[in-house]
């Protein structure tokens, strides 16, 4: 019985460490990628310098994504004058027509990219689960990664902290 608990402790420790490494991305540089919105606008990495960026991987078929989208809209509106930009990356498996309809219906106030070939998801560490959200500071470091519905209150606190750093 003692050996069983020892094995259980080892397995639990390994799972905890793996989970931490999988779901945290402190101070890892964000990928340097060129984006093109569904409206055909280009966004070069140089245009994102000295900005706080929220990158959200989503899909129209994802209930968690649709649930958190109003909160992401509020964040964008609240911090748009503080060098804050939201980039929403629709997953490669999402239907372009569904994306366009949702964006138009909800009047999403941020840059929307359809990751048609999955290269952006790969660049961010093979994102496969939605929603997945990355908060990137003005130095281009990923300071927080969320898999699943993001903690909006925590994101706000991190944004406020980043804004204060630059004042």
- 105 is written with which tokens? 């219906």
Confidence class for position 49, pLDDT limits 50, 70, 90: confident
pLDDT of residue 20: 44
> Are 9 and 3 a contacting pair, CB within 8 Å?
no
Mean pLDDT confidence for 65-74:
97
Confidence class for position 82, pLDDT limits 50, 70, 90: very high
Confidence class for position 3, pLDDT limits 50, 70, 90: low
Dump pLDDT digits (tens) for 8-20: 444 544 544 444 4
User: What's the mean pLDDT when you consider all of the chain?
Assistant: 87
- Least reliable range by pLDDT among 3-17, 47-61, 86-100, 139-153: 3-17
Secondary structure of the chain as H, E, C letters: CHHHHHHHHHHHHHHHHHHHHHHCCCCEECCCCCEECCCCCEECHHHHCCCEEEEEEECCCCHHHHHHHHHHHHHHHHHCCCCEEEEEEECCCCCHHHHHHHHHHHCCCCEEEECCCCHHHHHCCCCCCCCEEEEECCCCEEEEEEECCCCHHHHHHHHHHHHHHCC
Mean pLDDT confidence for 145-152:
96
pLDDT of residue 22: 46
Dump pLDDT digits (tens) for 26-37: 568 999 889 999
d(CA 51, CA 116): 26
Mean pLDDT confidence for 30-46:
90
> Are 30 and 72 a contacting pair, CB within 8 Å?
no
Dump pLDDT digits (tens) for 96-147: 999 999 999 999 999 999 999 999 999 999 999 999 999 999 999 999 999 9
Closest CA to 23 of 115, 129, 159, 111: 129
Q: Is the pLDDT of residue 25 over 50?
A: no
């Amino acid at each position: 019985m003692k050996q069983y608990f020892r094995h259980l402790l080892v397995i639990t420790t390994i799972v905890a460490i793996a989970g931490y490494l999988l779901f945290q991305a402190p101070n890892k540089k964000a990928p340097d990628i060129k984006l093109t919105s569904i409206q055909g606008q280009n966004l070069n990495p140089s245009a994102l310098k000295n900005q706080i960026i929220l990158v959200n991987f989503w899909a129209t078929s994802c209930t968690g994504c649709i649930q958190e989208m109003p909160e992401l809209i509020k964040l964008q509106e609240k911090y748009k004058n503080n060098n804050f930009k939201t980039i929403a990356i629709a997953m490669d498996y999402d239907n372009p027509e569904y994306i366009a309809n949702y964006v138009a219906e909800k009047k999403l106030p941020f840059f929307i990219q359809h990751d048609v070939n999955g290269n952006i998801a790969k660049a961010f560490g093979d994102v496969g689960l939605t929603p997945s959200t990355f908060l990137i500071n003005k130095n281009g470091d990923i300071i927080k990664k969320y898999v699943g519905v993001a903690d909006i209150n925590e994101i706000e606190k991190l944004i406020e902290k980043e804004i204060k750093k630059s004042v």
